[in-house]
């Protein structure tokens, strides 16, 4: 089981309002889920800059499959754990 670490961050109110709109519309379960996904996205983009052209090509081919699996309905069972 993955462990998590609680951190605190201050964000401008306008950004929080946007996050809350996404949560209210059901795109994300809560603010934490949004922030985790935003950080993952940012880290992937940073990593992408370090890849060779061939590695980028492979990542672009595999990423949609991984994203589909990541968002699968079968995994929703575990969302509350």
Q: What is the pLDDT of residues 4-37, one digit of tens each?
A: 888 888 888 999 999 999 999 999 999 999 999 9
2: left (phi over 0), alpha (psi -120 to 50) or beta: beta
Q: Which of 40, 44, 43, 22 is nearest to 31 (CA)?
A: 22
Better-scored residue on pLDDT, 20 or 68: 20
The model's confidence at residue 53, banded by pLDDT at 50, 70 and 90, is confident
Query: What count of other Cβ atoms lies within 10 Å of the Cβ of residue 39?
Result: 10
The first and second tokens of residue 71, run together, are 């968002």
Q: What's phi and psi for 44, nearest 5 deg?
A: -60, -45
In whole numbers, what is the pLDDT of the chain averaged over residues? Answer: 79
Residue 42 has pLDDT above 80, yes or no: yes
Rounded Cα–Cα distance for residues 72 and 69 (Å): 5
More confident residue, 45 or 32: 32
């Amino acid at each position: 089981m993955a462990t998590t670490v609680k951190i605190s961050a201050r964000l401008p109110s306008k950004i929080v309002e946007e996050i809350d709109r996404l949560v209210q519309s059901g795109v994300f379960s809560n603010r934490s889920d949004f922030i985790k996904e935003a950080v993952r996205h940012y880290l992937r983009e940073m990593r992408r800059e370090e890849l060779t052209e061939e590695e980028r090509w492979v990542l672009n081919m595999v990423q949609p499959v991984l994203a589909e699996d990541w968002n699968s309905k079968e995994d929703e069972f575990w969302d509350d754990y």
